[in-house]
Amino acid sequence: MKSDPSVPVPRTGGVLCRALLPLALLTGACAHPATPLTPATDGEQSQDPAEGSTGGGESTGDPLDDTAALPPQVGEHYAFVNARLPGGESIVLEVDGGLVVSVSSEPPADLAVIDLEGKTVVPGFIDSHVHLAFQYGVDDVGQGAQRLMSGGVVGAVDLAAPLEALAGFDGEQWLAAGPMITAELGYPTQGWGANGYGMEVSGPQAATDAVNMIADLGAKLIKVPVDQGPALSDDELLAIVTRAHERGLLVAAHALGDVEAARAAAVGADILAHTPVEPLSDATIEAWRGRAVISTLRAFGSRETSIENLRQLHAADATVLYGTDLGNLRIEGIDAGELLLLAQAGLTPPQIIASGTSAAASLWGMPGLGALEPGKAATLLVLAGDPLEDPTWLAEPVAVYVDGELMPPPANTPGGFGP
Ligand SMILES: [Zn+2]
């Protein structure tokens, strides 16, 4: 693979190293910027998998050096002190039993503390488009989740998995769509999704029955392809959306073209599983006003067309969700390249943070995530820099806490992070 000049590269050597952190996680160093990411394993029909790479330039810093100062776990009831919020406000986060129990400016007396002097904290990240079952195996979804948590992704939405994989998702922070409901011989059953990643139906009743079966097994959303191959009819799509909504499930549509995205909106789909890659008409942008779109800009090519589509959807008040399409790309953590592409699409740093935290938690119904406030999980990223100044700090957590517990370092990372 080559480096893609359309992927923005950060300004300095140190920041470039951050942009390459996913590579560092996989190769064990941040000193080989010209080495491409591990190629995708044909997870989904990326427009051009060769575009899924950042790279180029030299790097000198080693951000993982920052990690040695963090103290060990201090029990179940403790406080983070000198924790900075993005923008610089210093807070004390009291944690008990895995929950944030107070946020204040003064450390409580007689409480063990973890001093985060000089560090910034944000809520743990949510990746709204992954393929855990595909990437790690139908029986190893939990192992995949563990690996993601070490990289700062503390919740995710799996957008195509066989029925038997559904039991591996907790339905709270790790959500799954189960198999895509598709037409006979429809996407993805003739390609990468041949082994149960698609469920073929014919007719509205069969479509309705499929929703019920998938929902009964614990799926928290339904995914449908709306494409140009053998495709579901409008009646079938309407039956799916109607029953999904009756069951309280959102519907995500795989729709990459203008006609397809318009059709998905017309039948009532809630979420675009990818930013479409063909130019969207004004009418289609308007049809998606106030709905939601998952970015996946790097997995599906970082072309200007996709970036412009996302810019316009964002301007039309569509909720933008951070998503990588893990399984198509292999990035076990937060992808600096995707964050930079979100910035290119016009999201401000607070909006980029929201796309992986508050906006995602709200849309998917993950009440414990998305914010650091009393009653929420003590699930947070400790960052060496302020993501309002440079969002790629998000991709390089020096520590990750989930429910108050320090996660082990990412696999293959020498020295690791934390104590
Ligand atoms: Zn996907």
Q: Which residue from 107, 100, 44, 118 is spatially nearest to 296, judged by alpha carbons?
A: 44
Q: Is residue 377 part of a domain?
A: no
Distance 189 CA to ligand 1 centre (A): 14
Write the CB contacts of 14 (distance below 8 Å, at least 6 apart in sequence): 59, 60, 61, 63
- Whole-number Cα distances in Å, 258 to 215, 274, 309: 29, 12, 10
Q: Which residue from 406, 383, 392 is spatially nearest to 118, judged by alpha carbons?
A: 383
Q: Is residue 60 part of a domain?
A: no
What pLDDT, on a 0 to 100 scale, did the predictor assign at position 58?
Answer: 31
Q: What is the pLDDT of residues 53-96, one digit of tens each?
A: 333 333 333 333 444 455 556 789 999 999 999 999 999 999 99
What pLDDT, on a 0 to 100 scale, did the predictor assign at position 345?
Answer: 97
Residue pair 187/198 in contact by the 8 Å Cβ criterion:
yes
* CA 261 – CA 255 distance, rounded (Å): 5
User: Prior bond to 188 cis, omega within 30?
Assistant: yes
Distance 314 CA to ligand 1 centre (A): 21
> Domain holding 158: CATH number?
3.20.20.140
What pLDDT, on a 0 to 100 scale, did the predictor assign at position 413?
Answer: 46
Strand, helix or coil for residue 251: strand
Distance 113 CA to ligand 1 centre (A): 41
Distance 127 CA to ligand 1 centre (A): 11
Distance 137 CA to ligand 1 centre (A): 15
What pLDDT, on a 0 to 100 scale, did the predictor assign at position 12?
Answer: 30
What pLDDT, on a 0 to 100 scale, did the predictor assign at position 73?
Answer: 67
Distance 98 CA to ligand 1 centre (A): 32
Q: What angle do CA 27, 28, 30 make, to 5 degrees?
A: 90
Q: Which residue from 357, 355, 412, 417 is spatially nearest to 383, judged by alpha carbons?
A: 417
Q: Is residue 376 part of a domain?
A: no
Q: Calculate mean pLDDT across residues 330-347.
A: 95
382 pLDDT above the threshold of 80: yes
Percent of the chain, pLDDT > 70? 80
357 pLDDT above the threshold of 80: yes
Q: Give the residue with greater pLDDT, 413 vs 111.
A: 111
First vs last Cα of the chain: how many Å apart?
Answer: 36
Q: Is residue 398 part of a domain?
A: no
Q: Quick count: other Cβ atoms within 10 Å of Cβ 115?
A: 15
- Which tokens go with 44? 């989904």
φ, ψ dihedrals at 286, nearest 5°: -65, -35
Q: Is residue 106 part of a domain?
A: no
Distance 48 CA to ligand 1 centre (A): 14
Residue pair 131/159 in contact by the 8 Å Cβ criterion:
yes
Distance 325 CA to ligand 1 centre (A): 5
Q: Is residue 242 part of a domain?
A: yes
Q: Give the residue with greater pLDDT, 300 vs 297.
A: 297
Write the CB contacts of 51 (distance below 8 Å, at least 6 apart in sequence): 4, 6, 7, 298, 301, 302, 303
Residue pair 86/122 in contact by the 8 Å Cβ criterion:
yes
Q: Is residue 359 part of a domain?
A: yes
99 pLDDT above the threshold of 50: yes
Distance 129 CA to ligand 1 centre (A): 6
27 pLDDT above the threshold of 90: no
DSSP string covering 312-328:
HHHHTTPEEE----BTT
What HEC string does 160-221 produce? CCCHHHHHHCCCCCEEECCCEEEECCCCCCCCCCCCCCEEEECCHHHHHHHHHHHHHCCCCE
The alpha carbon dihedral of 52, 58, 64, 66 has a sign of negative
Strand, helix or coil for residue 284: helix
Distance 133 CA to ligand 1 centre (A): 11
Q: Quick count: other Cβ atoms within 10 Å of Cβ 168?
A: 23
Q: What is the DSSP letter of 18?
A: H
2 pLDDT above the threshold of 50: no
Distance 80 CA to ligand 1 centre (A): 37
Q: What is the pLDDT of residues 5-25, one digit of tens each?
A: 333 333 232 332 333 333 222
* CA 389 – CA 323 distance, rounded (Å): 21
- Whole-number Cα distances in Å, 205 to 200, 202, 208, 389: 12, 8, 5, 52
Q: What is the pLDDT of residues 110-163, one digit of tens each?
A: 899 999 999 999 999 999 999 999 999 999 999 999 999 999 999 999 999 999
Q: Is residue 386 part of a domain?
A: no
Write the CB contacts of 398 (distance below 8 Å, at least 6 apart in sequence): 63, 64, 66, 67, 70, 119, 382, 383, 384, 417, 418
Write the CB contacts of 155 (distance below 8 Å, at least 6 apart in sequence): 124, 126, 127, 173, 174, 175, 360, 361, 364, 366, 369
Domain count of the chain? 1
Residue 281 amino acid letter = S
Range of the domain at 362: 125-369
* CA 82 – CA 80 distance, rounded (Å): 7
Q: Which residue from 283, 281, 287, 347 is spatially nearest to 320, judged by alpha carbons?
A: 347
- Whole-number Cα distances in Å, 259 to 38, 202, 250, 274, 281: 33, 22, 21, 15, 9
What pLDDT, on a 0 to 100 scale, did the predictor assign at position 18?
Answer: 33
What's the whole-number average pLDDT of the chain? 84
